[in-house]
Structures are given as C-alpha cells and as structure tokens.
C-alpha cells in the first residue's frame, strides 16, 4: 500500500505530465470549431477540391513518403496525402 501512495504522490509532484496533451488537443479542437471558414473535409480528392473550391493560389509538393502536397487558398490551407485530403486548416496569422 505504501508503494501505491508514493507512486501517486510522485505523479502529483511531477504535475501528471500525461494530462498536458489532452489540454492541447482540446484547445486545437476548440479553435478549429470556432472558425467559420468552409474548407475541404478529410478524404476528399484533389479533383473534388478543385471542383468545389477552384484553383489554389499556390501549390507545394509532393514531398516525402508518403507524398504530401499543400495547396494554399489564402484563407485556408489543404494538406493531401497522395490524392486525398488529410487535413484542412485556417492559418493562425490570417
């Protein structure tokens, strides 16, 4: 019983480092849900993005393995793995 108490005390003294990631995730999800910019959803194809949003202002890539490409639309950026959207974000600085 004493070893369990000392383990709990040590975890509390260290600030429970495992809980920081949860707070960061909630903040990111909160910021993303607060944006009102319509952007492509995960899994959309490049052709679908072009049809719905038009030609991006700039394209970068593909680079790496798997190949990642980036399209910048000004008010949002789309990240593709191969031909499919893996993430769409609204840059913080805009």
Parallel, antiparallel or unpaired: strands 68-72 and 77-81: antiparallel
Give, for all 94 residues of the chain, the pLDDT tens digit: 456 555 555 555 566 555 555 555 555 554 555 557 899 999 999 999 999 999 999 999 999 999 999 999 999 999 999 999 999 999 876 4
- DSSP string computed for 27-78: HHHHHHHH-----PPTT-BHHHHHHHH-S-SEEEEEETTTTEEEEE-SS-EE
| pLDDT of the residue at 93 | 65
* pLDDT value of residue 94: 45
User: Tell me, what's the pLDDT at 37?
Assistant: 82
Task: Give the CB-side neighbour count of residue 43, counting CA atoms within 13 A.
Answer: 0
Tokens read off for 7: 């383990």
């Amino acid at each position: 019983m004493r070893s369990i108490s000392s383990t709990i005390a040590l975890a509390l003294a260290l600030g429970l480092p495992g809980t920081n990631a949860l707070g960061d995730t909630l903040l990111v999800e909160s910021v993303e849900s607060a944006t009102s910019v319509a952007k492509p959803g995960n899994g959309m194809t490049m052709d679908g993005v072009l049809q719905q949003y038009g030609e991006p202002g700039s394209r970068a890539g593909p680079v790496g393995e798997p190949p990642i490409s980036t399209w910048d639309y000004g008010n949002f950026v789309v990240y593709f793995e191969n031909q499919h959207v893996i993430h769409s974000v609204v840059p913080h600085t805009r």
